[in-house]
Amino acid sequence: MRSLARRIGEYIWEIPPTAKEGMLVPARIYATEKLFRDMDEAVFEQITNVATLPGIVKYALCMPDGHSGYGFPIGGVAAMDVTQGGVISPGGIGFDINCGMRLVLTNLTVEEVRPHLKTLVDRLYERVPAGVGCTGFVKISRQEFRRVVEEGARWCIRQGYGWEEDLELTEEGGCIAGADASKISDKAVDRGYNQIGTLGSGNHYLEIQQAHILDPELAGRFGITIPNQVVVMFHCGSRGFGHQVATDYLQVFLRVMQSKYGITIRDRELACAPFDSPEGQDYFAAMKCGINMSFANRQVILHRIREVFSSVFGRSAEDLGMHMVYDVAHNTAKLERHVVDGQERTLLVHRKGATRAFGPGLEGLPARYRELGQPVIIGGSMETGSYLLVGVPAGAQTFFTTAHGSGRTMSRTRARKQWRGQQLQRELESRGIYVRSVSWSGLAEEAGGAYKNIDDVVEATELAGISKRVVRFTPLGNVKG
Amino acid sequence: MPFAFLDDVAIADLAFEAWGETLEETFVAAAEAVLCAMVEDPQSVRPQVRRPLRLRHEALDLLLFTFLQELIYYKDAEQLLLRVPQVRLGTADGVHTLEAEACGERLDPSRHQLRVDVKAVTLHRFSLAQTPSGWKACVVLDV
C-alpha cells in the first residue's frame, strides 16, 4: 500500500481512493521523507481502511508520528459529516479515552531544582501512583464517581483539588458538555471509581523538564520567560473506566453495525454506528464521561504535583508560579465546525493519538490564548525531550490537528529484548536524568531508541504548516508508570 | 507455557499467540499470557481468592474475547491478578458457554514484579482458529 502513495507536497503523501476497494476519500500522510520511509507498513493498511468509513470527509489523515495501532493507526484523524450518515467508531478514539498531556509552569530554574531533584522525583513517585491496577487517594462511592464523570475537572475544583483558572486552561473547560452517566455500565464504574489521581503505565509518565525557548514572544505569552525555567509535564488518561466504556460499546457496535445499519468494515476494531443512531448517541454520551474522567484524573495529579513542590521548597504553589499552560486531549471524537471547500460544516472529528491544534481566533480557545492559537503539548520519549507548539491558521488542512508525541518505531516485545530497565536507569542518571519506575521491563519498553526522533516529528508538523514550535523541553527527572 | 509474545505485530501494543491441543487448553494459555503481560513471574501469584466465571457468547472467538476481558476487569475493579487452571466449554441453545474458577490474589508490588497495565483486549487481528495440531489464538492487547 505504501508504494501506491504519491508525494503531493514536500511533506504530504497521498494514497488515492482507487488503491483499495471501498475507499471513499484519499488517505493523506504528513511526514518528511525519512519519517514516511520509516513508518511500518500496517500504517498504510490502517489509514486506507479508515478511508472506507461512512461519512468521512476530504481525507483520512495520518500525522508525522503515525505508527500502527488497532483499527485506526496511532496518529489517525477522520472527520465525519454527521448529517450525511457519518459514523462514530470507538476504534477511532482508542480504549484510553482522552489520554492527554498537561503542562505546568514553575518559576524555578534548573540551578534551583537540581539539588532537590531526587527528593522531588521520589516524592512524586510516592504521591502519584503508577503501574498495573494502581489506585488513588480520592476515596469516593460509585455513585459519587458517576458525578465525577459528568462534571470532570469541575468536580475536582469543588473538592479543593486545584485552582479555578485550571479549568479555563483545559480543553472544554475541563468538562465536556453532554456526558451522561446513565450510558455507562456498572463494570466501567467498578474499574474507575478508585483510580482518580493515578498515572497508569505503558507510555504514561510524569516529567520534570528544563525549558529551551525557541520563540521568545510566544513562549512569554505562555508563561515561559526565565532562562533554564523548570516545568512539569505529564501524560495519562481515563484509566480502567475509559477502557471499559470503549470495550462495552465496541461490542454493542459489533452487534448492530451490519445487521441493523448494513455497514461492513475491513477490521473489526473499526466497529462503528451512525452518529445519529441510538447506539451512536449512547456511545457519544458515554465516551464524554471518559473524557471527563481523564480531565479529573489529570486535575488531581496536578494537585499532588503542587503539593509535592510546595513541601519540598517550603513555599506555596502560588508562590512557585505553578500555573497550568494547558491540557490537551489525544484520544477523542468531538463535534466541531470546520470550513470544507468554502462551506462551514459540523463534523465529528476523530483524533486517535493526535492533538487538536486550533489556530488563532477559533472558538473554544481560552480568552488569553485566542489571538495566539492553541498551545499543543508534545511528549517525547523520556530520553529525547518534548515540545510546546502552537496551532496555526494553515492547520485548517488537517481539521486543526497535529502530532501527539514521538511515535514508536519498535514493538514493546522487541524493545524488552534490546534494553534492560536497570541499565537504562543508570545510563540516564549518568546524563543527569533521574528516573523512577514501577516496572523495569516497562522502563525498557519506553527506551528512547524505541521511538522516532521527536525533533523530526515536530519539524515535519511545522514544515507542513499544521503547527509551530515554541519551546523545547529536556528531561531532568521522570516518574514512569 | 504454550504462548508467545510476538515481536512485530503491534508496534504500540502487545501481541501474543496462544495455542493448545484443545480449545480449553488454548483458553487457559491465553489467560496466562494476559497475566504474563502484567507480571514477570506468574508463579508469584498465589491462589488465595477465587472468582467464578460464567460467560456466554454466540461467537466462539468472542467468548474468548469476553473471557480475557473479564480478567482485565478484575485487575482494576478488585486489583486481582488471576490465573485460570482450567475452563469448561460447552454449548446451550446454540450459544457457546464457559465456566471456570479463576484464582489468584490482590496485586502487591512488593511481591509481584509488575510489567505493564493491560487496558483492553482489542479485536485487531483477533482470531481463534483450528490448526493441524489443535487450536491457536492471536490477540493484540492495548497497553
Task: Give B-chain residues touching A192 at CB under 8 angstroms.
Answer: 76
Query: What pLDDT was estimated at residue B9?
Result: 75
Counting the structural domains of chain B, the total is: 1
Question: Coil, strand or helix: which one is B81?
Answer: strand
The torsion angle over the Cα atoms of residues A117, A122, A123 and A127, rounded to 10 degrees, is: 140
pLDDT given for residue B8 in this prediction: 75
- What residues in A contact B128, CB-CB < 8 Å? none
A 163-202 residues with CB < 8 A to B: 187, 190-192, 195, 200-202
Do the Cβ atoms of A441 and B115 come within 8 Å?
yes
B17 grid coordinates? 499467540
Shortest alpha-carbon distance between residue B142 and chain A (Å): 8
- CB atoms inside a 10 Å sphere around CB A318: 11
Which of B4, B61, B68, B56 has its CA nearest to residue B31?
Answer: B68
Q: Verify whether the Cβ–Cβ distance B12 to A71 is below 8 Å.
A: no
Are A413 and B12 inside 8 Å of each other by CB? no
Which residue in chain A is spatially nearest to B15 when comparing CA positions? A413
Give the per-residue pLDDT at A86: 97
Candidates A70, A191, A441: best to mutate against B (most CBs of B within 10 A) is: A70
Q: Which residues of B touch A67 (CB under 8 A)?
A: 11-12
A459, A32 contact by CB (below 8 A): yes
For residue A438, the chain B residues in CB contact (below 8 A) are 109, 114
* Contact check, Cβ <8 Å, B124/A441: no
Report helix angle A278-313 to A142-151, nearest 10. 90
Residue B64's closest CA among B25, B9, B8? Answer: B25
CATH of the domain at B92: 3.55.10.10
- Among residues A179, A178, A299, A293, the alpha carbon closest in space to that of A243 is found at A293
3-class state of residue A370 by DSSP: coil
Residue A350 designated active-site: no
Tell if the CB–CB gap between B116 and A202 is shorter than 8 Å. yes
Q: Is the pTM of this model over 0.90?
A: yes
Sequence-distant (≥ 6) Cβ neighbours of residue A327 within 8 angstroms = A100, A101, A102, A103, A169, A170, A171, A174, A295, A298
d(CA A404, CA A390): 12
Nearest to B12 among A69, A131, A247 (CB): A69
Query: Are A96 and B142 within 8 A, CB to CB?
Result: yes
Contact assessment for residue A222 and residue A471, using Cβ atoms and an 8 Å cutoff: yes
Q: How many CB atoms lie within 10 A of CB A371?
A: 10
What pLDDT does A400 receive? 98
Cell numbers of A353, please? 493519538
pLDDT given for residue A89 in this prediction:
97
Residue A41: the pLDDT is 92
H helix and E strand count, chain B: 2, 9
> Over its length of 481 residues, how does chain A's per-residue pLDDT go in tens digits?
899 999 999 999 999 999 999 999 999 999 999 999 999 999 999 999 999 999 999 999 999 999 998 999 999 999 999 999 999 999 999 999 999 999 999 999 999 999 999 999 999 999 999 999 899 999 999 999 999 999 999 999 999 999 999 999 999 999 999 999 999 999 999 999 999 999 999 889 999 999 999 999 999 999 999 999 999 999 999 999 999 999 999 999 999 999 999 999 988 999 999 999 999 999 999 999 999 999 999 999 999 999 999 999 999 999 999 999 999 999 999 999 999 999 999 999 999 999 999 999 999 999 999 999 999 999 988 788 999 999 999 999 999 999 999 888 888 888 888 899 999 999 999 999 999 998 888 899 888 888 889 999 999 999 999 999 999 999 999 999 8
CB-closest option in B8, B114, B140 to A70: B140
* CB-based contact, A290 to chain B, within 8 Å: no
CB A459 within 8 A of CB A402: no
Question: Which residue range(s) make up the domain with B132?
Answer: 3-142
**Residue A303, helix vs strand vs coil:** helix
Q: Is A480 touching B (CB cutoff 8 A)? A: no
Query: Could you tell me the maximum CA-CA distance found in chain B, to the nearest angstrom?
Result: 47
Q: How sure is the predictor about B103, in pLDDT bands with cuts at 50, 70 and 90? A: very high
Q: Mutation target for A interface from B119, B128, B139: give the one with most A CBs within 10 A.
A: B119
Phi, psi at residue A320, to the nearest 5°? -85, 0
CB-CB under 8 Å, B75 with A133: yes
In angstroms, rounded to a whole number, what is the distance separating the alpha carbons of residues A272 and A255? 10
Tell me how far CA of residue B128 lies from CA of A432, A479, B88, in angstroms.
48, 38, 17
Strand ranges (DSSP E) for A266-358? 273-274, 324-329, 332-340, 343-352, 355-356
Which of A247, A252, A418 is the best substitution to test chain B (most B C-beta atoms within 10 A)? Answer: A247
How far apart, in whole angstroms, are the C-alpha atoms of residue A224 and residue B2? 54
Q: Does the CB of A441 have a partner CB in chain B at under 8 Å?
A: yes
Nearest to A408 by CA among A458, A457, A375, A441: A457
CA B116 to chain centre: 15
Provide the pLDDT for residue A125.
97
